[in-house]
Structure 1
Amino acid sequence: MAQIHNGAMLVNDVLVFSNPISGKGKGKAIAHRLASALGEAGLAVTAFTQRASSIDRTQFGASPLAAVVIGGDGTLRAVTERLIDVYDDSTMPPIAVIPLGTANLMGRHLGLRWRGAPSDRIVAAIRRRRIRRIDAARANGRLFLLMAGVGIDGQVVHELDAVRKGPIDYVSYVLPAVRALAGYRYPAIRVTIDGKRRFGPKPGIAFVGNVAEYGTGFPLLKHARSDDGLLDVCVLPCASRGDAIRLLMRAAVGEHVDLEGALYTTGHKVRIDANHDVPVQVDGDASGHTPLEIELLDRRVPFIVE
C-alpha cells in the first residue's frame, strides 16, 4: 500500500546502493541481507552496485520510500548527488546510511550505529521514517556534504589519490602526508565570502563545510551546524612546513581558531583562488585545483535517523 507524505505519493520501494568493495568486500553481502529483510517486510527493493552517475534516471522510480547507501563518505556523496539530480525537494527519498568507509563522517555526525546492526533494526528505521534534513553545498558545480579543504590538506589527498589502489584506512595517509609536507610550496590564497574579500593574498590553508569534525576527528569547523543554513569557513595562515605541523597540533585540541591571523566566519557563497594552482579536496576526495566556488544548498538532503 502506498503512503502520502508532504503531498507526494510514496510507493513501498526502497533503493539500495552499495559499493561492493567497501568494508573490504562486505558491502555486497550487507546489501543482499538487507534486501531480503526489506522484502520480508513487504517492501520492494531496487538494488544498484554500479556508479550512481551511470544509472539512468528511469531506473529510480517516481517517489521511493527511502534510499539506502552502503559504503563510505565518497559513495554517499556520489549517490546523493545523483538523487538530487533526479528528485526535487518534495520527492527526494530520505537516505539511510550504513557506513563502511574509513572515516564515515556523515554516519558519525548523524549518530548512527548501524555498522554491523541487524537488518531488522534498519528496516524498522526505514518504516518509521524519522527524518533529519541537513545542508549541502556545491563546489565548482559538484555536490559535497561535509567539508572542502584547500592547501596542504588538499595536497595530502592528491598524493593519496595518485597511489591509491582499492580500499584505504588511516595508515594509507601516512606516506602521502610525508610527501605533501616535503614538497608543498605554500602559495598565497585569496578567500572571498558573499562577495567580500576576507583573507589574503597570503599563504594559508582553508576549510569550508557543514560539519565540525574532519576525518582525523579534529574539530576544524568547531562551531559548524549542519542544519543552520550557513557554510562555516576557517582560514589559517600557513607559510611553511613548521606552520603546518603547528596547526595540526593546535587543531587536535580545537585551538587553531585562536591563532593570530586566523579567520573563522560563516556565509552562503565562498570563492577561494590563487595565482597558482592550489590543490583542493572535497569530502576526502581529490577535486582538482583552485579556483574553487562553493554555494550552499539549504537543508537539501533528508536523512533517516534513529
Structure 2
Amino acid sequence: MHPPADAPADVVVAVNPTAAFGRHGDVGTRVARRLEEAGHRVTTLVRDDYPTLLAAARDAVAGLARRGGPDDGLTTLVVVGGDGMVNLAANATAGTGVPIGLIPTGTGNDFARTLGIPHGDPDAAADLLLSALASAGPAGGPATVDAARISSAGGERWFACSLSAGFDARVNERANRMRWPSGRSRYVVALLAELTRLRPAAYALELDGKPWETPAVLVSIGNGVSLGGGMRITPDAQLDDGLLDVMVVAPLGRLALLRIFPRVFSGTHVTDPRVTIRRASRVRIDAQNIVAFADGERIGPLPVEVTVVPGALRVWT
C-alpha cells in the first residue's frame, strides 16, 4: 500500500464497459480503492457502452480541467482496459492538459507497450501510476506525447497509437468480433481467416500535400510502434517527433503475405522491397470500399485525413 499523498489528486477512473464479463472484471474497483487509500479523491465511471462512457468521460475531464492547471499534476483520467480505452482517453483529453493513467487489461495494449507501461499485470501498472502521482511536482510529471486527429465524413476523432485502412483493418474488425483466443493469437487467427479475401485496392494518398497513388493490400498510419498485441507495423515510429509513419504494402499473394507476416513481430518486415514507409505530419487516404480503424475502434469508410498534433496528450509513465 502506498502512503497517503501529500498533494491528493482528483482522479476519474473509467472502466471498459465489457470488463465486467472478463477475467479483469474487478480491476477497476481495485484500482479505485488503491487510489483512495493513497489519499486521492476518486470518481468511478462505469457505463453500458462505449459512446455513453466517452460522453461521461468528456464531461468529467472538462470538470477536471476547470479544477487544476495543466502543470500541477493534480487531475487525472485513469482508463482500465485495452487500446479501445486508450482511444477513449485520447478522445476525452486531447488538448485539455489533463493527464492519462493507463491500467492495461485488454487484448493488444499496444499504446502501453510503446510507453513501457506494464501490460498483463494490472497491479504492476497501478503501482507505477501511484508512484508517478506521488512524485508529481517540479521533480516529476506526466510524459507529453503526440496524438493524431482524424477528419472524415463522420466528424472528428483522435487516436493515440495507429490507424489501419486495408487488409489490416479487416483483420482488426474480425478480431474484435472474436471471443477466442486471447492476446496476440486472436489477431493471427483473424488474419488467417481473412486471407481468402485478400485483394489489392487503388489508393490515393496525400502526404503533406504531395500526391501518392498506388495499389496496395495494406495501409497503416503509426503514431506509435505496434498494433494487434505487439505487431511492430511501424517499428521506428516515435510518439514525440511530430510525425506519422505511413506503411504501405504493395500487392502480393497469400503465400507471400504469410512469409512476411511473422517478421512483423520483430519489425524486420520493413526490409522487404514490397513494404514502404514514409513520414508526414498530415496524411489523406482514399480508396473505394475500405473502412478505417483507429486503436482498434471503427472510424468509418475512407476518405480520412489524419493530422499529427504534437504534445496533445499527457500520460503518466
Above 0.5 in TM-score? yes
Q: CA deviation at 1:83?
A: 2.5
**1:13 aligned residue (10, 15, 18):** 10
Q: CA deviation at 1:291?
A: 1.5
- The one-letter amino acid paired with 1:94 is P
Q: Which moved more, 1:35-44 or 1:168-177?
A: 168-177
Distance 1:95 1:220, change over 3 A: same
Q: CA deviation at 1:172?
A: 3.4
- The one-letter amino acid paired with 2:316 is I
Q: Which residue of 1 aligns with 2:124?
A: 117
**2:277 aligned residue (264, 268, 272):** 264
Q: CA deviation at 1:95?
A: 1.1
- The one-letter amino acid paired with 1:278 is I
Residue 127 (structure 1) aligned with residue 134 (structure 2): yes
Q: Deviations over 1:249-298 (max 9, x none)?
A: 44344333233354322111101112x21232211233323222111111
- The one-letter amino acid paired with 1:125 is A
Q: Deviations over 1:31-66 (max 9, x none)?
A: 223323322333211110124323175544223522
Q: Which runs of 5+ in 2 are unaligned?
A: 69-73
Q: Which residue of 1 aligns with 2:71?
A: none
- The one-letter amino acid paired with 2:89 is V
Distance 1:121 1:304, change over 3 A: closer
**2:29 aligned residue (29, 32, 52):** 32
Q: Which moved more, 1:127-136 or 1:172-181?
A: 172-181
- The one-letter amino acid paired with 2:219 is A
Q: Distance in 1 between matches of 2:230 and 2:32?
A: 32
Decide whether the 8 Å contact of 2:180 with 2:186 is kept in 1: no
Q: Which residue of 1 aligns with 2:38?
A: 41
Q: Which residue of 1 aligns with 2:56?
A: 55
Q: How does 1:181-220 map to 2 (within 5 A)?
A: 181-198=195-212, 200-220=213-233
**1:149 aligned residue (142, 146, 164):** 164
Residue 277 (structure 1) aligned with residue 284 (structure 2): no
Percent identity reads 29
Residue 77 (structure 1) aligned with residue 87 (structure 2): yes
Distance 1:25 1:267, change over 3 A: same
Q: Deviations over 1:184-210 (max 9, x none)?
A: 322222221011023x33234211111
Normalising by structure 2, we get a TM-score of 0.80
Q: How many residues align?
A: 290
Distance 1:170 1:258, change over 3 A: closer
Q: Which residue of 2 aligns with 1:6?
A: none
Decide whether the 8 Å contact of 2:291 with 2:300 is kept in 1: yes
Q: CA deviation at 1:27?
A: 4.7
Distance 1:197 1:298, change over 3 A: same
Q: CA deviation at 1:228?
A: 0.7
Q: Distance in 1 between matches of 2:260 and 2:308?
A: 27
Q: Which residue of 1 aligns with 2:112?
A: 107
Find the residue that maps to 2:230 and give its secondary structure.
coil
Q: Distance in 1 between matches of 2:249 and 2:260?
A: 8
Residue 138 (structure 1) aligned with residue 173 (structure 2): no
Decide whether the 8 Å contact of 2:113 with 2:230 is kept in 1: no
Q: How does 1:169-184 map to 2 (within 5 A)?
A: 169-184=183-198
**2:255 aligned residue (227, 242, 263):** 242
Q: Distance in 1 between matches of 2:43 and 2:59?
A: 12
Q: Distance in 2 between matches of 1:77 and 1:204?
A: 25
- The one-letter amino acid paired with 1:55 is A
Q: CA deviation at 1:233?
A: 1.2
Decide whether the 8 Å contact of 1:272 with 1:292 is kept in 2: yes
**1:221 aligned residue (211, 234, 237):** 234
Decide whether the 8 Å contact of 1:21 with 1:166 is kept in 2: no
Find the residue that maps to 1:55 and give its secondary structure.
helix
Q: CA deviation at 1:97?
A: 0.4
Find the residue that maps to 1:281 and give its secondary structure.
strand
Q: Which moved more, 1:26-35 or 1:221-230?
A: 26-35
Find the residue that maps to 1:38 and give its secondary structure.
helix
Q: Which moved more, 1:50-59 or 1:287-296?
A: 50-59
